Chains A and B, each alone.
Chain A
């Protein structure tokens, strides 16, 4: 990718973005409530959350289209909350592309350079590089209505990058594309971001997209940041019931704390009388009602009982074959069921409803959440 290298050479690397106590109130409700984030320069950072959780509002405050009720935003150490959008020098890709319908592809991409009064020869060269980068060379004279959705999206991306912003903001840029094209564009986006070392702040409600593309991500709920971390941290160690439910799949077993441990390791007893060890998501006390969350792929079946593992007998009540894996619903007594996902390897014995299935799993892969959080957390 010669074009990318040429562009990268002219690109100052990404800027750090810091958000402090950012709040936006619409009438009496807070769309964004005291959000603070530290985004490393050159990293891919994602805001993930359900509809209405305040992702767009947060991004729009960074872009300058929504005025914060409180809080400050720093880009490269400089406070920008008081600046209008055009003075923030941030690239932005909108969900509906917002490609100018009366301008050709070339004119669209040249737009940011023209408003900056860049000389014509430079404009031609840099637009050419961008077209090559997003693989639209030869489309210069087309109007947006002659382009497919994916092509329009790439024009929007090239246009947002051509003036070499140090931060690129994207609000669900791929949501309108079909599944195949979306996967393809995810790869291209990530590749371009790594080439240009631009800081990306990305909004999505697609958890798979967030997990595969981000260096770090923030899970938002009801205007607040619930948890920030790498995809691995968020998936393996969700800090709240909401994060565990929203990102990936979990089974939850209800019980009460029998040993609060040293703050992180705790023991609980399930309704069926089985004792489990796990990591406490937040400090627990003995007798407290808790839910133990376990990802479906963490279960081992029919192994020899190993010391230090959690164990539970179980009985298969349902099996769904999904090609590479089979998902079993397993009754573990006292009316509780867990989902177990097993690879369909040669050795794996297929089980039918009614078969017994002894489960074991590691305490490090068991997270204990206070149960009362369920009421308002998820």
Chain B
């Protein structure tokens, strides 16, 4: 194949020996990708294909699991709720994470490094442990409710746990670092001289932020939002432990089908839909991240 390609290319006008050598180099580089590609085929592509196969096969090829999924309103409701929760969490992460990243970028280097460690520190502790910690804080007799009651701000404890609020708090907490880190890395790359130039040209703080810094940090906002959104779509432990009975996410439904109903094909169909939605998200993500390159000097 390689020899054929080079041989066929040679007579074409404009194909120089250099270009042929370049093409050969490219093929060699592709070869480097082989081991991870083979690994991925075994641990990822094969199971996913198996999953897809399972979702359309029971005593012969059938689409009845998908039919059930779209026919019974409860499943679409859960899908919709999953989306709504993911969107809310994404917005909460943006509102909290963007200012945080903005402040971080403006700090002196040492303080910045220290606070970045604080941001990623939770990753060193299992999510389950952290979720239980939140439950201690947010329960009816937890620290937050007790404090509010001592301050006479509330008479009855707030339903912070086992409610939609609880699920949102837990998920926002768990996903906030992804937003902060994505936004931070983009903001860090923005030349501070540009904001100064804006000031020298007469722009006040707000104008310089809105017209220069904000648009330049857009790839960070978009990237962070899509990352958080995709990750919340598949969230499972936190909403289950901290959410109310009605806060059913699609991942919890899948677990239910696998563990209790033992309806593997239907669980596969649910998983396939989640996968499709996630893939659409990733596609949008990669498109938006390409935006980032637009601002660079070279392409």
Q: Give chain A's interface residues, CB within 8 Å of chain B.
A: 63-65, 84-86, 89-92, 94, 96, 98, 100-102, 111-112, 114-116, 145, 159-160, 163
Contact = CB atoms under 8 A, between A and B. Distances in A.
Contacts of A163: 201-202
B197 A102 contact: no
Given A100-B194, A101-B295, A86 B202 contact: yes
B193 A102 contact: no
16 contacts: A65-B196, A65-B200, A86-B202, A86-B203, A92-B197, A92-B200, A92-B201, A100-B198, A102-B215, A102-B294, A111-B203, A111-B211, A115-B202, A115-B204, A115-B211, A145-B299
Contacts of B216: 101-102
A351 to B, nearest CB: 53
B298 interface: yes
Contacts, number: 71
Given A102-B215, A102-B216, A111 B198 contact: yes
A269 B296 CA distance: 64
B68 interface: no
Task: Name, among B196, B202, B216, the residue most crowded by chain A CB atoms within 10 Å (CB to CB).
Answer: B202
Contacts of A85: 196, 199-200
B209 to A, nearest CB: 12
A108 to B, nearest CB: 9
Contacts of B294: 102
Given A94-B193, A115-B207, A145-B298, A86 B215 contact: no
Task: Name, among B197, B201, B216, B299, the residue most crowded by chain A CB atoms within 10 Å (CB to CB).
Answer: B201
Interface in B275-299: 294-299
A245 to B, nearest CB: 33
A373 to B, nearest CB: 38
Given A98-B191, A98-B194, A90 B200 contact: yes
Contacts of B196: 65, 85, 94, 98
B contacts with A: majority SS: helix
B295 A102 contact: yes
B252 interface: no
Contact of A98 (B193, B202, B211, B296): B193
Contacts of A115: 198, 201-204, 207, 211
A91 B200 CA distance: 7
Nearest to B196: A65
A104 to B, nearest CB: 13
A59 to B, nearest CB: 11
Nearest to B207: A115
Contact of A86 (B194, B199, B298): B199
Given A90-B200, A98-B197, 6 more contacts: A86-B199, A89-B202, A98-B193, A98-B194, A111-B198, A145-B299
B158 interface: no
Contacts of A160: 200-201
Contact of A94 (B197, B211, B215, B297): B197
A294 B199 CA distance: 47
A48 B297 CA distance: 31
A86 B191 CA distance: 18
A96 B201 contact: no
Nearest to B199: A85
A225 B60 CA distance: 91
A112 B295 contact: no
B56 interface: no
Nearest to A89: B202
Interface string B196-227: 11111111100100011001100000000000
B99 to A, nearest CB: 21
Interface string B165-205: 00000000000000000000000000101101111111110
A159 B215 contact: no
Contacts of B203: 86, 111-112, 115
A114 B197 CA distance: 14
B242 to A, nearest CB: 40
A111 B295 contact: no
Given A96-B193, A98-B193, A115-B207, A63 B296 contact: no
Nearest to A116: B202
A84 B211 contact: no
Task: Name, among A84, A90, A96, A115, the residue most crowded by chain B CB atoms within 10 Å (CB to CB).
Answer: A115
A86 B195 CA distance: 11
A94 B212 CA distance: 16
A163 B203 CA distance: 12
A246 B192 CA distance: 33
B230 to A, nearest CB: 26
A311 to B, nearest CB: 56
B201 to A, nearest CB: 4
A159 to B, nearest CB: 6
Given A91-B200, A163-B201, A145 B296 contact: yes
Contacts of A65: 196, 199-200
A12 to B, nearest CB: 16
A111 B201 contact: yes
A159 B191 CA distance: 18
Interface in B35-81: none
Contacts of A111: 198, 201, 203, 211
Nearest to A65: B196
Nearest to A159: B201
Contact of B212 (A84, A86, A100): A100
Contacts of A94: 193, 196-197
User: What are the nearest 6 A-B pairs in CB distance?
Assistant: A98-B197, A92-B200, A112-B201, A85-B199, A115-B203, A98-B193
A115 to B, nearest CB: 4
A115 B197 CA distance: 13
B221 to A, nearest CB: 14
Nearest to B215: A102
